[in-house]
């Protein structure tokens, strides 16, 4: 049985003051979270503060991006070893906003996935199609290409130490959620594709849904057989909403 994971992606939001309040609120509600593992992915500069506040709690934390390089002349970048120093367990790689606004290629994302794993972090690999791609009927080939970049670089076994998040780009921050059936269809496709390489890895892999997940729609999404939790943007900035999604997995 896969333990659901609910991970918040704060994106470029918050202040020292607001995240302190948010984390207090989340910690206060964790007693009601029976089944899900819970984590927050914070802006990197807040990771020391997040670590200080969450250390010893059942809430994990991580970053939203990381360099594929170990160290060196890469101005502005943050290395996997640095995330490790601040107690990160997770790091998101290949979020659609990074792919779109920072021109991250499938190959670069795969290298980030590999670097994270090598450093003992759990990469959360985001995949998903745009609206135009869905309308062209190429959702599966887009998601397959994004997944295959990781499998080609490292082999399917690498996914045993990772998490995949299916995030249809048209559902991110738009209020428009994929229906549970639409999401399940792609999640099942992802699992089958990986099973083609390694059935045990596919069976154990947590595949999260992301895209306007809220307390009101989380339960029916997570109830689907191949949806193992969520990657939550907007609703992760409010403790009650985020906890509502975490308890939906109960
Ligand atoms: P959203 O974002 O929940 O605000 O749609 C999800 C994500 O981008 O990870």
CATH number of the domain that residue 154 is part of: 3.20.20.70
**What does pTM read for this prediction?**
0.98
95 catalytic residue (yes or no): yes
Q: Which domain holds residue 188?
A: 5-248
Interior angle at CA 121, CA 117 and CA 122, nearest 5: 85
Token representation of residue 52? 């200080």
| Closest residue by CA, ligand 1 atom 1 | 233
Q: What is the mean pLDDT of residues 101-107?
A: 98
- The domain tally of the chain equals 1
Best of 211, 213, 215, 238 to mutate for ligand 1, by most ligand atoms within 8 A of CB? 211
Q: How far is the CA of 218 from the centre of ligand 1 (A)?
A: 13
| Closest residue by CA, ligand 1 atom 7 | 233
Side-chain-side CA neighbours of residue 148 (13 Å): 9
pLDDT at position 175: 87
220 catalytic residue (yes or no): no
Residue 39: CB atoms within 10 A of its CB come to: 25
CA distance linking residue 32 with residue 215, whole number of Å: 14
CA distance linking residue 207 with residue 211, whole number of Å: 13
pLDDT at 196 over 90: yes
Q: How far is the CA of 72 from the centre of ligand 1 (A)?
A: 32
Closest CA to 159 of 171, 172, 146: 146
Q: What is the mean pLDDT of residues 233-247?
A: 98
Residues across the chain: 250
Residue 209: CB atoms within 10 A of its CB come to: 32
Closest CA to 166 of 149, 142, 199, 132: 142
* Confidence category of residue 113, pLDDT binned at 50, 70, 90: very high
How many percent of the chain have pLDDT more than 70? 100
pLDDT at 102 over 90: yes
Q: What is the mean pLDDT of residues 88-107?
A: 98
Q: How far is the CA of 103 from the centre of ligand 1 (A)?
A: 19
Interior angle at CA 98, CA 95 and CA 102, nearest 5: 165
Q: Which residue has the tokens 């939203």?
A: 64
pLDDT at position 1: 83
Side-chain-side CA neighbours of residue 247 (13 Å): 14
CA distance linking residue 200 with residue 165, whole number of Å: 19
CA distance linking residue 179 with residue 43, whole number of Å: 30
Q: Work out which ligand 1 atom sits closest to the CA atom of 92.
A: 9
DSSP code, position 174: S
pLDDT at 214 over 90: yes
Region for 87 from its dihedrals, namely left if φ exceeds 0, alpha if ψ lies in -120 to 50, beta otherwise: left
pLDDT at position 136: 97
> Which residue of the set 37, 95, 97, 187 is catalytic?
95
Best of 64, 174, 210 to mutate for ligand 1, by most ligand atoms within 8 A of CB? 210
Q: Which residue has the tokens 């509600």?
A: 29
For ligand 1, residues with CB inside 6 Å are 9, 167, 172-173, 210-213, 231-235
In DSSP terms, 59 is beta-bridged to 38
Q: How far is the CA of 68 from the centre of ligand 1 (A)?
A: 23
Q: How far is the CA of 57 from the centre of ligand 1 (A)?
A: 24
């Amino acid at each position: 049985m896969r333990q659901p994971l609910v991970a918040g992606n704060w994106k470029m939001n918050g202040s020292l003051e607001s995240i302190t309040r948010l984390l207090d609120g989340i910690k206060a509600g964790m007693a009601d979270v029976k089944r899900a593992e819970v984590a927050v992915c914070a802006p990197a500069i807040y990771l020391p503060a997040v670590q200080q506040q969450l250390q010893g709690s059942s809430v994990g934390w991580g970053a939203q991006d990381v360099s594929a390089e170990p160290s060196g002349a890469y101005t502005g970048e943050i290395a996997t070893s640095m995330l490790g120093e601040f107690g990160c367990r997770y790091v998101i790689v290949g979020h659609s906003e990074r792919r779109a606004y920072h021109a991250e290629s499938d190959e670069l994302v795969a290298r980030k996935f590999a670097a994270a794993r090598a450093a003992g972090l759990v990469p959360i690999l985001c995949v998903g199609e745009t609206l135009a791609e869905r309308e062209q009927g190429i959702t599966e080939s887009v998601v397959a290409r994004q997944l295959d970049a990781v499998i080609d670089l490292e082999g399917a076994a690498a996914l045993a130490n990772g998490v995949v998040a299916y995030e249809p780009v048209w559902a991110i921050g738009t209020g428009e959620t994929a229906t549970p059936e639409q999401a399940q269809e792609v999640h099942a496709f992802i699992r089958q594709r990986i099973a083609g390489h390694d059935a045990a890895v596919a069976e154990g892999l947590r595949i999260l849904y992301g895209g306007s997940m809220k307390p009101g729609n989380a339960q029916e999404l997570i109830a689907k057989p191949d949806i193992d939790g969520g990657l939550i943007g907007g609703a992760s900035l409010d403790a009650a909403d985020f906890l509502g999604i975490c308890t939906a997995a109960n």
